[in-house]
Copies of this chain bind each other. A is one copy, B any other.
Amino acid sequence: MTFPAPLTGVVPPVCTPLTPDREVDVPSLLRLVDHLVEGGVHGLFLLGSTSEAAFLTDAQRALVVEAVVAHVGGQLPVLAGAIDMTTSRVLDHVRAVTAAGARAVVVTAPFYTRTHRAEIARHYRRIADAAPVPVIAYDIPGAVHTKLPADLVLELADDGVLAGLKDSSGDLAGFREVVAGARSLARTTGFAVLTGSELVADAALALGADGVVPGLANVDPHGYVRLYRLARSNDPVGARAEQDRLCALFGMVNAGDPARMGGSSSALGAFKAALYLRGVIDCPATAEPQIPLSAEETERVGKHLAGAGLLQGVSDTPWGWSSPGGH
């Protein structure tokens, strides 16, 4: 299939289910993909932050892309993160994920090294020159400690370097600047402006976002697809009600005790616990060195699911699951 220009709709950053031994659990991954496709999503973003790309080895990354591409065939666009520190290392990932079938790559600003606006531009230009597929910028200052300036994104969009933006910065005002700029750039009609926010997706769509890439859509794809349709059909009141429900559900990310673990362990642990409790995946383990959720913390996740109406029919919820690696 041709990659859509612009990419639109709900494009979840797909979680990477692991076995108790922290290997990729391919059957669970494919069940998760079926769950998302059945939920009506418009694309799949593999190897993003929610996918624990930062934790997966190169072999695991390749396995994820190959398995999913083989499974979904050409039914919907598959994007893959090429998350690494600098240009040459990113290009190695670009080669690997496109060889495995990804139709677009998602790339952050350089990290670990100190960087600069001119270096970020050079980074994306070099990568777009070499990549056989469209390049989408991934603005995630919480991870890379640099914010992509809106005017730089638009400059690179105008030059055909970037095919889109996935904005996980939390800065809706800056996002709006990109939306407005993309609208006024004649040649970037194909540029996709996507928000990574779980919590203000309705607002982002109302101000002109092309799509949403929320981690929580792993847990409740139907909810985000409903939200997207309500927003597109100009029903802001309906969209807001759905968003409010999803905001409450998102509270699960605080399930983990901050005295025991970091925000990533808690949030990714909660998403996986929710998928486990919903029966989608076989094991809620997160990758090392993340701290597993305790039984009590997992129970908190279950309460969020129940509150959002997502645990009907689950009669024997295994609250007491404890991480095989939980020591």
Contacts and interface: CB of A to CB of B under 8 A. Distances in A.
Interface of A: 22, 49, 54-58, 60, 83, 85-89, 92, 110-116, 118-120, 122-123, 126, 142-145, 170-173, 176-177, 180, 197-200, 202-203, 206-207, 234, 236-237, 240, 243-244, 247-248, 259-265, 287-291
Contacts of A173: 170, 197-200
B116 A291 contact: yes
Contacts of A176: 199-200, 247
A307 to B, nearest CB: 13
A172 B200 contact: yes
A116 B265 contact: yes
A54 B85 contact: yes
B199 A240 contact: no
Given A123-B288, A247-B180, A262 B86 contact: no
Contacts of A122: 288-289, 291
A86 B143 CA distance: 13
Contacts of A180: 244, 247-248
A297 to B, nearest CB: 14
Nearest to A59: B92
Contacts of A261: 116, 118-119
Q: Taking the full assembly, how many copies of this chain does it contain?
A: 4
Which of A244, A248, A288 has the largest number of chain B CB atoms within 10 A?
Answer: A288
Nearest to A261: B116
A194 B300 CA distance: 31
Given A55-B86, A126-B289, 4 more contacts: A55-B113, A119-B290, A145-B145, A203-B207
A266 B113 CA distance: 12
Nearest to A267: B114
Contacts of A290: 113, 119
Nearest to A110: B289
B119 A55 contact: no
A92 B57 CA distance: 7
